[in-house]
Amino acid sequence: MDTRFVEEFLVFAEDANYSAAAKRLFITRPTLTEHIHALEEELGCFLVGRSQGKVVLTPEGKQFVQSGAKLLDFVRVMVDDYQNMADNLLTVTVAQTNLPWLETILYKARCEVQRRYPMKRIDIVTVNGPCSTVEALRDATNDIVVAGAKSYVSEDDRGAYPEGIQGFRLGSEEIRLLVTQGSPLFDRDVVRACDLDGMAVMLPPDIYRGYIRDGVADRFRLHGADVELKTMGFSDHFEYFTYNFNDSIGVVPTTLVPRFGLDEREECRTFVLEDLPLRTDFYALYTDDFARSENGSLLVAAMTKLASASVR
Q: Determine the average pLDDT of the residues in 121-138.
A: 82
Within-domain flag for 236: yes
Identify the pLDDT of residue 251: 97
- Span 154-184, pLDDT tens digits: 877 777 788 999 999 999 999 999 999 999 9
Q: Which residues of 202-239 are buried (b: 16+ CB within 10 A; e: fewer)?
A: bbbbbbbebbeebebeebbeeeebebeeebeebeebee
Q: In 3D, which of 212, 208, 217, 193 has the Cα closest to residue 272?
A: 193
Non-local (6+) Cβ contacts of 210 within 8 A are 147, 148, 149
Are 72 and 174 in the same domain?
Answer: no
Are 44 and 8 in the same domain?
Answer: yes
Within-domain flag for 305: no
Q: What residue numbers bound the domain in which 79 lies? A: 3-85
- Span 131-148, pLDDT tens digits: 667 888 888 889 999 999
* Lowest pLDDT segment from 85-89, 133-137, 269-273: 85-89
**What's the pTM value of the predicted model, to 2 decimals?**
0.72
Q: Determine the average pLDDT of the residues in 40-59.
A: 91
Are 73 and 93 in the same domain?
Answer: no
Are 251 and 223 in the same domain?
Answer: yes
Domain closes at, from 85, 102, 125: 85
CATH number for the domain including 19?
A: 1.10.10.10
Within-domain flag for 48: yes
pLDDT value at 312 more than 80: no
User: How many domains would you assign to the chain?
Assistant: 2
Within-domain flag for 306: no
Are 232 and 268 in the same domain?
Answer: yes
Identify the pLDDT of residue 97: 85
Identify the pLDDT of residue 88: 80
